Amino acid sequence: MKVLLLSASTGNGHMSAARAIEAEFAVRGHDAKTVDVLDHTGKGFRGWYRGGYEVLVRRSPKMWGHLYKSSDRPLFNYGFQTLLDTVFVERMHKFLTAEEPDWVLCTHSLPQPALARWRKRRPFTMGIVVTDLYPQRMWLRGRPDWFFVPGEWSQQILFERYGRARDRTTVSGIPVDRLFAERQGRDLARGAMNLDTGRQTVLVTSGGIGGGPIADVVAELSGLPAPIQFVVVCGRNQEAQAAATVQAKKAKGPARVQVFGHVSTPEMAALMHASDLIVAKPGGITTFEALAAGLPFVVFDPFLIPGQEEKNAEFLVEQGIGLRAGGAVELAVMVQGLLESSERLASMSSHALRNAKPHAAATIVEAVEQLGPMS
């Protein structure tokens, strides 16, 4: 079976999900390929779509939240974005025609409207892998043959919003790399990342884009009066990395801080396994990586991207996996309190593992194999 996995490099999550599925297809002997749809669009559209998203998320998250919520209704923003997505992805049609896939799986909503048109010329089966707990309207475009959703709650919302999805949906979880579910022990993981094996460890990250007041968080956490080890991952945001490094050097208490920029998937998996707790924004991929690792989660609201991540945060709190902190001072108090309560951490970890779906990629591939070409 030949499968194309279409995604878009806005942040890291969508592409990571596609590659996790691709790896599972490869293990089972299928011809699968991950494609960044933005590589098949014009330079202007690509720069606006990729760069504009990152600029808004870093500098004006409230504006991004407004755009996200307004495009979740069948009004102007939804229609305008759908028109743009249809027109500017059109040049990818030649590539798709040459590939002749049996299935096309989307881990980003960008190509969906264009795919609906192309299927009239050359049939293929179209599947959607929803990478946030809430199925926003952009995921519903293009009359897909099958949906793969993170959980039962997501499935119910999908059915309410898009009746055609009934009997065409698999609850799979969000695909993450196998490494996050492969427990290696904290001491071994800490040693692999050159961390102190004898210190409680907290992983702090605001995702691949690295938005939010990371330096303020470092300043507050590094002042805690306990021998805690903080590992700060700033993603591709070099300014945030530099500011966090300056604050880390100012730390004078017993806490230690190590600052990283972008890290690889194996390194992030090792950092999660090395940690007692994660402080992060609840992106879909980060959330399901932490669940697979059984890692208690503190959502730091200033890191959170309004819109798609708000429902993810609610899920973590409702399921007993995480807590939410609204500011750096509250965060420091919360982190210290959690690290002083092994029982609370153990309970949160247990709830995380109970909600984890570490084999989501395998679930998706098995479903595709069973369904076969549907068009």
pLDDT for the residue numbered 32: 97
pTM score, whole prediction: 0.92
Let me know if 199 is exposed, middle or buried by CB neighbors in 10 A (0-12, 13-18, 19+). Answer: middle
**Which pLDDT band, with edges at 50, 70 and 90, does 119 fall under?**
confident
| CA–CA distance, 190 with 69 (Å, rounded to integer) | 40
**Once rounded to an integer, what is the mean pLDDT over residues 354-363?**
95
The alpha-helical segments, DSSP class H, found in the chain are 13-27, 43-46, 52-59, 61-70, 76-88, 93-99, 112-118, 152-161, 186-192, 214-221, 238-250, 265-274, 284-293, 310-318, 328-339, 342-355, 360-371
Identity of the amino acid at 121: R
Which one of 69-73, 235-239, 274-278 scores highest in mean pLDDT?
274-278
DSSP 251: -
pLDDT (tens digit per residue) in 121-164 = 889 999 999 999 999 999 999 999 999 999 999 999 999 999 99
Phi-psi region of 142 (alpha: psi -120 to 50; beta: other; left: phi over 0): left
- The strands making up 169-171's β-sheet, listed across from edge to edge, are 31-36, 2-7, 103-106, 125-129, 146-149, 169-171
**Once rounded to an integer, what is the mean pLDDT over residues 340-358?**
96
pLDDT (tens digit per residue) in 178-221 = 999 998 789 999 999 999 999 999 999 988 777 889 999 999 99
Which comes out higher in pLDDT, residue 55 or 156? 156
**Once rounded to an integer, what is the mean pLDDT over residues 356-367?**
96
Closest C-alpha among 87, 93, 24, 11 to residue 52: 11
Which residues share a beta bridge with 205? 233, 280
pLDDT at 375 over 70: no
**Once rounded to an integer, what is the mean pLDDT over residues 207-236?**
91
Domains assigned to the chain: 2-176+358-371 (3.40.50.2000), 178-355 (3.40.50.2000)
3-state DSSP of 152-196: HHHHHHHHHHCHHHCCCEEECCCCCCHHHHCCCCHHHHHHHCCCC
Please tell me whether residue 10 adopts helix, strand or coil conformation.
Answer: coil
pLDDT (tens digit per residue) in 80-94 = 999 999 999 988 999
pLDDT for the residue numbered 365: 98
DSSP 51: I
**Once rounded to an integer, what is the mean pLDDT over residues 48-69?**
80
* Mean pLDDT of the chain, nearest integer: 93
| CA–CA distance, 117 with 89 (Å, rounded to integer) | 11
DSSP 309: T
Q: Are 203 and 231 in contact (CB under 8 A)?
A: yes
Q: Which two tokens stand for residue 4?
A: 């194309």
Q: Give buried/exposed letters for 42-70 (b at 16+ CB in 10 A, else e).
A: eeebbeebbeebbebbbeebeebbebbee
Question: Please, what sign has the CA dihedral across residues 216, 217, 222, 224?
Answer: positive
**Once rounded to an integer, what is the mean pLDDT over residues 275-290?**
95
Q: Which two tokens stand for residue 40?
A: 């098949």
pLDDT for the residue numbered 306: 87
Rg for the chain, CA atoms, rounded:
21
Which one of 2-16, 244-258, 332-346 scores highest in mean pLDDT?
332-346
Which residues share a beta bridge with 201? 229
pLDDT for the residue numbered 10: 84
Q: Note the Cα 245 to chain centre separation in Å.
A: 25
| CA–CA distance, 225 with 362 (Å, rounded to integer) | 44
